[in-house]
């Protein structure tokens, strides 16, 4: 493969991230109803809840990353990259929190970029709501906007991979 085309790991991460965000979306409807009640009851408490909800994907991605790697290390130890340490314990480690933060950034950027691209290509479609939601059915997941989001996310993950490889190479030459 060309070095500019995302590797399999990048595609896997992008697809898993999109599925994870779709799962979060299902619960968000109920959470927003609770937040609406909180805002009416206490504006300060409601605003704090909004901030927590907006940042919650970071924790969700970090926890998922940590537990996924615990499972992979237990059942498929040969899949572990030698450059990364083995995750320990119940709580996410530094790399899992990095994956959570970067995954959140990738999710938002891929959504915004796909919205911009599709709005430019299909100007008659102007509903941001359509691009934001993945939906609960597999047919919704396989729609153009979602596939575009996965492709953009794969390139963002591949960019991170390329930067990591570059930093590893620099570190090896300075030792």
Task: Report the chain's terminal Cα–Cα distance, integer Å.
Answer: 30
Asked which of 47-56, 124-133, 136-145 is least confident by mean pLDDT, the reply is 124-133
pLDDT tens-digit profile of 9-40?
899 999 999 988 888 877 777 787 878 888 88
Whole-prediction pTM value? 0.78
The more confident residue out of 174 and 109 is 109
Show the beta-strand stretches assigned E in 20-116.
Answer: none
The more confident residue out of 53 and 84 is 53
Q: Tell me the C-alpha distance between 31 and 131, whole Å.
A: 20
Question: Per mean pLDDT, which of 50-54, 114-118, 148-152, 163-167 is the most reliable?
Answer: 148-152
Torsion-angle region of residue 84: left (phi > 0), alpha (psi -120 to 50) or beta?
beta
- Is residue 159 predicted with pLDDT exceeding 80? yes
Radius of gyration of the chain from Cα atoms?
18
Q: Tell me the domain boundaries of the chain.
A: 8-173
């Amino acid at each position: 493969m060309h070095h500019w085309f995302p590797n399999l790991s990048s595609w896997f991460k992008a697809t898993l991230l999109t599925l994870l965000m779709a799962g979060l979306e299902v619960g968000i409807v109920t959470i927003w109803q609770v937040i609406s009640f909180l805002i009416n009851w206490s504006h300060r408490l409601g605003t704090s809840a909004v901030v927590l909800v907006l940042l919650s994907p970071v924790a969700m991605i970090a926890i998922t990353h940590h537990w996924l790697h615990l499972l992979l290390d237990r059942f498929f130890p040969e899949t572990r990259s030698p450059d990364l340490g083995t995750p320990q314990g119940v709580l996410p480690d530094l790399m899992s929190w990095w994956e959570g933060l970067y995954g959140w950034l990738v999710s938002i950027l891929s959504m915004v970029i796909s919205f911009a691209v599709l709005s430019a290509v299909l100007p008659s479609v102007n509903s941001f709501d359509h691009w934001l939601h993945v939906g609960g059915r597999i047919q919704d997941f396989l729609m153009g906007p979602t596939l575009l989001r996965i492709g953009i996310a794969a390139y963002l993950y591949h960019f991170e991979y390329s930067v990591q490889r570059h930093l590893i190479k620099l570190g090896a030459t300075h030792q």
